[in-house]
């Protein structure tokens, strides 16, 4: 039991991002807030034209917000496209789940960078294919690819650095 406690204490010490519970909770609520706001005015029951709602204006410079590439809630498109919503979903989910798995996962920085490279590559490939073939797939696949990219970002943030010794 003593060895397990010392292992858990070492894991918490080694993780540079989650040095305190308050930092973790602050970032958890920040990711949650962005995720909820990205859903747009449909969840708030707003009746204004969608492109004039504050949620859409907030994400105006981050996302193209094409209604045909977004999910719809209560007859209104989300404030971001399906891919961006997937990225925010993945970041929130990754931040929520991965810190508990941190001690059990042995992910090096190099492996995490390869993961984000693969996830980013799939997204670039999807964007490229959609430039030529617009009817290949829809919002659900874009969302899944976004989730993979968002989780990859969190994995990089909590991955172990290659230049440290873990004995």
Q: How do residues 84-95 score in pLDDT, each as one tens digit?
A: 999 999 999 989
> 100 or 84: which carries more pLDDT confidence?
84
Domain residues of the chain, as ranges? Answer: 2-158
Is residue 15 pLDDT above 70, yes or no?
no
Inform me whether the pLDDT recorded for 167 exceeds 70: no
pLDDT at 5: 57
**Does the structure show a pLDDT above 90 at 140?**
no
What would the mean pLDDT of 13-20 be, rounded to a whole number?
57
Average pLDDT score over the chain: 80
Q: CA of 33: how far to CAs of 20, 46, 64, 158, in Å? A: 20, 18, 20, 21
Residue 77 three-state SS: strand
Cβ neighbours for 27, distance < 8 A, ≥ 6 positions apart:
95
How far apart CA 132 and CA 48 sit, in angstroms, is 34
Sorted by sequence, the CB contacts under 8 Å of residue 118 that are 6+ apart come out as 152
Backbone angles phi, psi at 72, to 5 degrees: -120, 140
């Amino acid at each position: 039991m003593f060895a397990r406690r010392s292992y858990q204490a070492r894991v918490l010490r080694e993780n540079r991002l989650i040095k305190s519970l308050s930092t973790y909770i602050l970032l958890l609520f920040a990711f949650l807030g962005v995720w909820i706001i990205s859903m747009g005015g449909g969840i708030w029951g707003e009746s204004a034209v969608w492109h004039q709602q504050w949620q859409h204006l907030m994400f105006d410079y981050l996302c193209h917000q094409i209604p045909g590439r977004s999910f719809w809630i209560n007859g209104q498109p989300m404030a971001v496209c399906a891919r961006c919503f997937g990225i925010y979903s993945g970041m929130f989910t990754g931040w929520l789940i991965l810190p508990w798995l941190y001690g059990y996962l042995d992910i090096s920085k190099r492996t995490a960078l390869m993961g984000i490279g693969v996830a980013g590559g799939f997204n670039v490939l999807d964007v490229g294919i959609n430039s030529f073939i617009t009817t290949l797939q829809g919002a659900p696949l874009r969302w899944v690819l976004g989730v993979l990219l968002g989780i990859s970002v969190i994995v990089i943030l909590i991955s172990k650095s290659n230049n440290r010794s873990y004995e």
